[in-house]
Amino acid sequence: MGITKILIIALLVWTALKVYSVVKSRSNDSDDNRMNKKIIPCSFCKTHVPLSSAIRVNNKYFCSKDHSKNA
């Protein structure tokens, strides 16, 4: 086997691994993850909180149960 063939195979393997890692990192960053990482302001005190830990009342988001009572 010539050095050129070895280089081509190495390049193909490297490209495949690169593509695989990009696809893998994209699938980890799913829409759900992005939604949960979204930061929104509390409708009462304007404190910015992650959407995943915000409390939703009447289509408004609040940082805590205490503030959601002010909806």
User: Which residues are near Zn ion by CB under 5 A?
Assistant: 42, 44-45, 47, 63, 67
Rounded to a whole number of angstroms, the minimum distance from the CB of residue 8 to Zn ion is 60
Q: Which of 18, 56 has the CB closer to Zn ion?
A: 56
DSSP assignment string, 10-52 = HHHHHHHHHHHHHHHHHHHS-HHHHHHH-EEE-TTT--EEEGG
Q: Which of 5, 46 has the CB closer to Zn ion?
A: 46
Rounded to a whole number of angstroms, the minimum distance from the CB of residue 43 to Zn ion is 8
Q: Which of 24, 46 has the CB closer to Zn ion?
A: 46
Pick the closest to residue 51 from 61, 59, 60 (CA basis): 61
